[in-house]
Amino acid sequence: MYLTSEKKAEFFEKFGKGTTDTGSTEGQIAMFSFRISHLTEHLKKNKKDFSTQRALVSLVGKRRSLLDYLAKKDIERYRAIVKELGLRR
């Protein structure tokens, strides 16, 4: 499995307030970005996997809504996470 509990804890440790703070916006955005990149690589090899394509579109929408929320809430945290993850915006 590509996303183990240790990998999740690492995301929330690096981007959130700690390993147990799984609700932090930055941690969720980082985890969604990792999953999006994994699914994108999968779809490059398997072009006709439409269920994965649907899941990818759903994840991109969730990440976008979290980014919009963070931009309204605290613009400096938004700019920091976009810069650190290398997202286009």
Q: What pTM does this model have?
A: 0.90
Residue 45: the pLDDT is 96
Residue 8: the pLDDT is 87
Residue 82: the pLDDT is 95
In sign, the C-alpha dihedral spanning 70, 40, 3, 62 is positive
* Cα–Cα distance measured from residue 53 to residue 59, given in angstroms and rounded to the nearest whole number: 10
What's the pLDDT tens digit per position in 9-55? Answer: 888 898 888 888 888 999 999 999 999 999 999 999 999 999 999 99
What's the pLDDT tens digit per position in 56-86? Answer: 999 999 999 999 999 999 999 999 999 999 9
The DSSP H or E segment spanning 43 is helix 25-45
- List the Cα angle 14/26/49 in 5-degree steps: 100
* Cα–Cα distance measured from residue 67 to residue 13, given in angstroms and rounded to the nearest whole number: 19
